[in-house]
Amino acid sequence: MFCYQCQEAAKGEGCTIKGVCGKEDSTANLQDLLVYVTKGVSLVTEIAKKNSVAIDKADKFVFEALFVTITNANFDDNKITNKIIEGIQVRDALKKELEDKGVAIPSLPANATWVAESDEAIKAKSEIVGILTEQNEDIRSLKELLTYGLKGMAAYAEHAFNLGYIDEKVFAFMHKALVATTRTDITVDELVGLTLECGEYGVNVMALLDKANTESYGNPEITKVNIGVRNNPAILISGHDLKDMEELLKQTDGTGVDVYTHSEMLPAHYYPAFKKYEHFVGNYGNAWWKQKEEFESFNGAILFTTNCIVPPKDSYKDRVYTTGASGFDGCTHIADRKDGQPKDFSVIIEHAKKLPAPTEIETGEIVGGFAHNQVLQLADKVVDAVKTGAIKKFLVMAGCDGRMKGREYYTDFADQLPQDTVILTAGCAKYRYNKLPLGDIGGIPRVLDAGQCNDSYSLAVVALKLKEVFELNDINELPIAYNIAWYEQKAVIVLLALLHLGVKNIHLGPTLPAFLSPNVVNVLVENFGIAGIGTVEEDLKLHLA
């Protein structure tokens, strides 16, 4: 195996024996093969589209397959193998339709012709299609940067799809970009162009998901979320999928089982449609990486709707369920929706009923719900605070949290920011400072949480609005600095989206991606002013200048 797609890549270079995330060598290889086959699906899909063959199954396959390969989403070799076989079937069904129409299919790369003849053949193939097959370091770096952006895009497209929202142009871009990564003659300039275009579609897919979420569940509003517990059996729901959230709340209603959010599901509390459930109690625990201790003390059943899974301890593994793109060998997987019917969560609900109530690990509240609609309602207050100097600077500290010791930087940075600054956050990065007593500025909390990582889109909407109010020509003239933390590939699409919106001088930490070659880093530094992080003291000076 060789994998360097996330921030925790071993030695800052890549995992080669086993993933720091817990991914086994065989799983990493199968994921490489799944990406390889997915590219083949896109190759044939582009031809099918030109010849008016229906491609909706291929669109769906591509975003599902890419999502399965996101960091710590799926560790289940069987499920990944089945997805590989499904990809070949989807691809070959398109070929058959083309042939039936009398279309001559041109000679295609092996991605689009390889067939899985046996388990041994799959294993053998999975070992020779990895990232390192691309010899040129810069081309490899750009191909992977683009692919990781697409993985993030796929995740957001899937959440929107689950709510009935699609954007065919996003799918078309995904196919085009995947096909481009199969080309052996592609140039650095072409790949840089596609990477920037990926940011444009990143904005589009986040806008689509924002529309899907808000039209389905209402606009997020200021909300105090309880972090204590009640004395009932309970289910902890993790990940990002709001459709799963809705169906679980409906199916647990009146059963005596409480529901708590975990990590990135916290923002579900901000949506009006979910507030009506009396048994939707609060948020339990912190960011994803603390789950080993927190799942132990939660005592109840746990449902993963997406990443981020830490391989579960045997002591609670039987209480862990997965659904959607997530999976873990030995954990019960809740099947997908069929024929427009909801998923059936009865097995986890029945299990939860037999388990003890959660052990309280903290008490109090956290405040959130500052997505664009809510912030724009406060716009006059915010603008006044900026004009009077009560707010001197906004710091966008969105993104992800992770295990690395160096991430204490973000707590210290937030803690040491002066009182006339406001943190704009989204994603699980917020757990580094959302429980600090940072106070407020004239009633505006000093940490404004917009929601999940995709709600970084909200932060961009707010920034664009402020640019308009202050009649500025350039988004970079605003008193906003960007100090972003990243972990996995959704953060990559958020970053590319911000670059597309013209945001400059983003600081990215705790370390720069291992998949960026020195030359690619130079391109990002020269054109966008991207930089890493320094010490808290240095960076406070820099960002507050």
CB 401, min distance to ligand SF4, A = 15
Q: Which is nearer to ligand FSO, 428 or 506 (CB)?
A: 428
Q: Which is nearer to ligand FSO, 125 or 430 (CB)?
A: 430
Q: How far is CA 363 from CA 230, 517, 527, in A?
A: 11, 45, 46
Distance CA 125, CA 6 (A): 24
User: Which residues does 526 contact at the CB level (< 8 Å), separation at least 6?
Assistant: none
Element (DSSP H or E) covering residue 250: helix 242-252
Q: Which is nearer to ligand FSO, 48 or 400 (CB)?
A: 400
At residue 101, φ and ψ (nearest 5 deg) are: -85, -5
- Amino acid 5 reads Q
Query: Which range, of 14-22, 201-209, 483-491, 501-509, touches ligand FSO by CB under 6 A?
Result: 483-491
Angle at the Cα of 485 from the Cα atoms of 415 and 541, rounded to 5 degrees? 50
CB 113, min distance to ligand FSO, A = 34
Among 147, 326, 452, 458, binds ligand FSO (CB under 6 A): 452
Among 49, 83, 140, 490, binds ligand FSO (CB under 6 A): 490
Query: Which range, of 12-20, 47-55, 311-319, 452-460, touches ligand SF4 by CB under 6 A?
Result: 12-20
> What angle, 0 to 180 degrees and rounded to 10, lies between the N-to-C axes of helices 346-353 and 242-252?
50
HSE of 51 in the Cβ direction (CA atoms, 13 Å)? Answer: 18
**Residue 487: which of ligand FSO, ligand SF4, none does it interact with, CB under 5 to 8 A by kind?**
ligand FSO
Longest dimension (CA), the chain: 71
Element (DSSP H or E) covering residue 248: helix 242-252
Q: Which is nearer to ligand FSO, 240 or 393 (CB)?
A: 240
Q: 21 to 80, contacts with ligand SF4 by CB under 6 A?
A: 21, 23, 28, 71
Among 19, 199, 239, 369, binds ligand SF4 (CB under 6 A): 19
Q: 300 to 339, contacts with ligand SF4 by CB under 6 A?
A: none
Exposure string for 362-379, b = 16+ CB within 10 A, e = fewer? eeeebbbbbbbbbbbebe
- Cβ 127 vs Cβ 28: under 8 Å: no
By CB under 6 A, the count of residues binding ligand SF4 is 13
Q: 290 to 319, contacts with ligand FSO by CB under 6 A?
A: 307-308
Q: Is 149 in the site for ligand FSO (CB under 6 A)?
A: no
Q: How far is CA 121 from CA 50, 134, 194, 384, 460, in A?
A: 32, 22, 33, 66, 47
**Residue 9: which of ligand FSO, ligand SF4, none does it interact with, CB under 5 to 8 A by kind?**
ligand SF4
**Residue 452: which of ligand FSO, ligand SF4, none does it interact with, CB under 5 to 8 A by kind?**
ligand FSO
Partners of 320 in the beta sheet? 302
Residue 204 CA to chain centroid, in angstroms? 15
**Residue 20: which of ligand FSO, ligand SF4, none does it interact with, CB under 5 to 8 A by kind?**
ligand SF4
Q: Which is nearer to ligand FSO, 310 or 383 (CB)?
A: 310
Residue 436 CA to chain centroid, in angstroms? 25
Q: 212 to 271, contacts with ligand FSO by CB under 6 A?
A: 263-264
Q: Is 328 in the site for ligand FSO (CB under 6 A)?
A: no
At residue 103, φ and ψ (nearest 5 deg) are: -85, 130
Q: 205 to 264, contacts with ligand SF4 by CB under 6 A?
A: none
Q: 466 to 495, contacts with ligand SF4 by CB under 6 A?
A: none
Q: Is 37 in the site for ligand FSO (CB under 6 A)?
A: no
The site map against ligand FSO for 110-139 (x = CB under 6 A) is ------------------------------
Query: Which range, of 5-13, 51-59, 92-100, 170-178, touches ligand SF4 by CB under 6 A?
Result: 5-13
**Residue 15: which of ligand FSO, ligand SF4, none does it interact with, CB under 5 to 8 A by kind?**
ligand SF4
Distance CA 368, CA 331 (A): 32
Length of the chain, please?
A: 545
Q: Is 151 in the site for ligand FSO (CB under 6 A)?
A: no
At residue 217, φ and ψ (nearest 5 deg) are: -125, 5
Q: Is 400 in the site for ligand FSO (CB under 6 A)?
A: yes
Give just the sign of the alpha carbon dihedral 269, 271, 272, 273: negative
Angle at the Cα of 409 from the Cα atoms of 403 and 510, rounded to 5 degrees? 60
Among 427, 451, 509, 510, binds ligand FSO (CB under 6 A): 427
* Residue closest to 223 by CA, chosen among 272, 280, 288: 272
Query: Which range, of 7-15, 426-434, 491-499, 528-536, touches ligand SF4 by CB under 6 A?
Result: 7-15
Angle at the Cα of 4 from the Cα atoms of 204 and 534, rounded to 5 degrees? 80
Chain residues that interact with ligand FSO, rule: CB under 6 A: 263-264, 288, 307-308, 400, 427-428, 452-453, 487-488, 490-491
Interface positions with ligand SF4 (CB under 6 A): 3-6, 8-9, 15, 19-21, 23, 28, 71
